[in-house]
Amino acid sequence: MSRLVISLDFELFWGVGHAHSFASYGANVLGEWRAIPRMLALFRQYGIRVSWATVGMVMCRHYKEWREIRPSILPGYIRQKISPYTMDKLVREQPDLFFARSLVEQILGTPGQEVATHTYSHFYCNEAGATPEQFSADLDCARMIAADMGVHYRSLVFPRNQIVEKFLAVLPDAGIQVYRGNAGHWLYRNGDAVAGRLAGRAVRLADSCVPLSGKRVEHIERRGELMNLPASLFLYPWSERHRALAPMRLLRLKQSMSAAARTGGIFHLWWHPHNFGVNTDQNLALLESLLQHYCTLAQKYGMQSSCMGDFPESDSLVEKYQNPSSLHAAALPGSGSCVRGG
């Protein structure tokens, strides 16, 4: 049985503050307040299960609570300017850029939606100065604030897709069973570190339109206590600048989804809600077209929608996804280091 998996990196300004100013990207982030309820409505309408990998700080009620909840070991990045703990003034002045507990509550109230973790602080595992001990303390904070909302994580998405071997060992102790890995193709295997730099990014852009990296059908990889569920493709947002590319990108995604449906594989699509924060109508139209295509594949091939947290339910399911020849039989069941103080 083939699967459509969607994972969203829900990070607000925590995920972009290192690279953007309020002037350059604030509208995208503030637009999430309008876009996310409409995305949830589409997911409900089409019966789509989605993993919302949420930065823990997003769940803070306000600036004061954010100041109170800190890991016992802060990130030791050499480039301290990328740490979210340096954005104090903006956090205090623009809370809607950073805190959205009510949106998380809407996600939890929508059938089929999983709140996964994107770490507490949008932690960069591949940044100089980062250590597994700091990462563990960060995840403790993520777990604590999630538990306050009745959430117990089983899935994780690494910020900026920075997957570093020594940090994977931390995940089982944090209750994580499955993570979104990177595709094995050279264009994607190193996450945000693109081989060839500008040339590599140009090839990635081209790959969003034509299948230079292949169909991007994925399968689960068992890694000790963990399951790696690699990403297939990124849903590039609609923009006026690249509007001519939109039909080709949409076709590319549909062809890859179709290939997964025909071969019993997994099509794992991802993006950020802030990608839909502007040009929201056009982006939701793209999404609905993809969901309609999924419905066609579900009727024709029996493709099903799954969130990341569905996969650890059954070891036999994982074995079937590691062995595509037996996929026809697979069926999913049912569609201390963090401190609070001054």
CA distance 38 to 257: 23
Helices (H) then strands (E): counts for the chain: 11, 12
pLDDT at position 305 is: 99
Burial category of 286 from C-beta neighbours within 10 Å (exposed 0-12, middle 13-18, buried 19 and up): buried
Q: Name the E strands within 229-337.
A: 233-234, 266-271, 304-306
Contact criterion met (CB below 8 Å) for 195 and 224: no
User: Which is nearest to 322 in space by CA: 191, 229, 257, 183?
Assistant: 229
Output the average pLDDT for the chain: 91
Contact criterion met (CB below 8 Å) for 117 and 53: yes
Partners of residue 268 on adjacent β-strands: 5
At 87-101, the pLDDT tens digits run 999 999 999 999 999
Domain that holds residue 270: 3-340
What is the band of 319 on the pLDDT scale with cuts at 50, 70, 90?
A: low
Q: What is the pTM of this model?
A: 0.92
pLDDT at position 340 is: 58
CA distance 81 to 17: 10
Could you tell me what percent of the chain has a pLDDT over 90? 80
At 150-172, the pLDDT tens digits run 999 999 999 999 999 999 999 99
CA distance 143 to 57: 11
Is pLDDT at 326 greater than 50 in this prediction?
no
Q: Name the E strands within 202-265.
A: 221-223, 226-228, 233-234
Q: How many domains does the chain have?
A: 1
At 183-196, the pLDDT tens digits run 878 788 778 877 77
> Which of 228 and 1 is assigned the larger pLDDT?
228
Three-state secondary structure call for residue 197: coil
Q: Is 47 left (phi over 0), alpha (psi -120 to 50) or beta?
A: left
> Which of 198 and 82 is assigned the larger pLDDT?
82
At 27-52, the pLDDT tens digits run 999 999 999 999 999 999 999 999 99
Q: List the CATH number of the domain containing 11.
A: 3.20.20.370
Which structure tokens are listed for 41? 């409505």
Is pLDDT at 335 greater than 80 in this prediction?
no
Considering only 198-212, 263-277, 308-322, which range has the smallest mean pLDDT? 308-322
Q: Residues near 202 by Cβ (< 8 Å), separated by ≥ 6?
A: none
Q: Name the E strands within 125-175.
A: 155-156
* DSSP per-residue string spanning 75-128: ---SSGGGSGGG-HHHHHH-GGGT--HHHHHHHHTSTTEEEEE--SS---TTST
